[in-house]
Amino acid sequence: MSRHPDILNRYKAALIIVDMQEKFAPVILDYAQVEKNIITLVKACRILGVPIFYTEQYPKGLGRTTELLGVELSDLYSIEKMFFSAAGEKALQTALEENAVSQIMLVGIETHVCILQSALDFSCMGYNVHVLRNATSSRRPIDRDNALERLQQKGITVSTVESALFELTEVAGTENFKQISKLVK
């Protein structure tokens, strides 16, 4: 069956988690819920075989990925970055190419800085970018909301965790579907 190119495909997609770090946690709006949603995504991506990458912005000053999420990512290596845009990191560009990624699910913080710039840059590089609204945040609602509006105006897909997961799962009644359904309940 031919599918719309904006529907996520687990064989073309990757999850990129941006800067979910210790120093940000206390000041980010709804941080605990965003982290919980990202952990759900990580677990689902592992079930579906979707590659996962994560960045840390200047970890010397901002700390490492928070402990709860860090446990889920402990078998992966972080990509340290200085650019606000994750797209500027050569190690990440190489990893995406090696995994034949053409679709990116982008989550993390802050929506109006690193997520916004990463999404726009990845889109400019030819990737189909999906920013998952309930897995990203900023310190202030106006900054998050403005960034999500701006991204939609630029043709970036703004979606949700559950919507993305069922696009990746594609078919009901399979073992993958059952496992993913348990994660989102």
Residues for the chain: how many in total?
185
pLDDT at 133: 98
In the block, which residue shows the tokens 């200047």? 58
Catalytic amino acids? Answer: 19, 81, 114
Q: What is residue 61's predicted lDDT score, i.e. its pLDDT?
A: 86
What the block records as the tokens of 49 is 């075989």
Rounded Cα distance between 128 and 101, Å, is 9
Place of tokens 């509006």: 149
* Cα distance between the two ends of the chain: 29
State how far the Cα of 69 lies from the Cα of 78, in Å rounded to an integer: 12
Q: Where are the domains of the chain?
A: 13-184
Which fold would CATH assign to domain 13-184?
Rossmann fold (3.40.50)
Q: CA-CA-CA-CA torsion for 49, 73, 119, 156, nearest 10 degrees? A: 50
HSE (side-chain half, CA atoms, 13 Å) at 121: 16
The pLDDT of residue 1 is 76
Residues 80, 81, 86, 91, CA torsion sign: negative
Give the CA radius of gyration of the chain: 15
The one-digit pLDDT tens for each residue of the chain (185 residues) are 789 999 999 999 999 999 999 999 999 999 999 999 999 999 999 999 999 999 999 988 888 999 999 999 999 999 999 999 999 999 999 999 999 999 999 999 999 999 999 999 999 999 999 999 999 999 999 999 999 999 999 999 999 999 999 999 999 988 989 999 999 88
